[in-house]
């Protein structure tokens, strides 16, 4: 049964909900954690050296991702195991990388054109 929060989300414009998604992606450690989780589920202790931040800070960032609905958790003994909630999250990261590579290639080409127009001294 939908919660009050779920019903409130349904009344919000989709653009606001999307903005919240991108806010959740707005920290390098969260993006890196998602990239690592795209390869499979991990505990905080597994993620920590791969993300490169202190475990307590990583746990906070993972909490943001969990509240945003991007990751899920399950208990395994005394550890919490994190996983991507949906493979579409990994697809979104790949699309972002492709967009950035295309933009960087355009910038590289523009710089090469500008350099070619500068007379030699």
DSSP 57-103: HHHHHHHHHHHTTSEEEEEETTEEEEEES-HHHHHHHHHHHHHHHHH
Give the model's pLDDT for residue 51.
97
Tell if the pTM clears 0.85, that is, is over it. Answer: no
Tell whether 48 is covered by a domain: yes
CATH code of the domain in which 65 resides: 1.10.10.10
Give the model's pLDDT for residue 113.
80
Distance CA 7, CA 56 (A): 32
Tell whether 80 is covered by a domain: yes
Q: How many domains, the chain?
A: 1
Tell whether 120 is covered by a domain: no
Tell whether 36 is covered by a domain: yes
Tell whether 13 is covered by a domain: yes
Tell whether 114 is covered by a domain: no
First to last CA, the chain: 73
Distance CA 94, CA 116 (A): 33
Tell whether 12 is covered by a domain: yes
pLDDT in tens, 18-51: 999 999 999 999 999 999 999 999 999 999 999 9
Residue-number span of the structural domain to which 8 is assigned: 4-85
The residue assigned the tokens 């919000």 is: 12
């Amino acid at each position: 049964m939908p919660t009050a929060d779920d019903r409130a989300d349904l009344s919000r414009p989709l653009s606001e909900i999307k903005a919240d998604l991108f806010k959740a992606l707005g920290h390098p450690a969260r993006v890196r954690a998602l990239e690592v989780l795209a390869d499979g589920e991990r505990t905080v202790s597994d993620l920590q050296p791969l993300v490169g931040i202190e475990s307590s800070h990583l746990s906070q960032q993972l909490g943001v991702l969990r509240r945003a609905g991007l990751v899920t958790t399950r208990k395994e003994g005394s550890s919490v195991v994190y996983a991507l909630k949906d493979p579409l999250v990994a697809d979104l990261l790949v699309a972002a990388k492709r967009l950035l590579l295309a933009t960087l290639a355009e910038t590289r080409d523009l710089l090469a054109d500008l350099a070619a127009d500068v007379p030699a001294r």
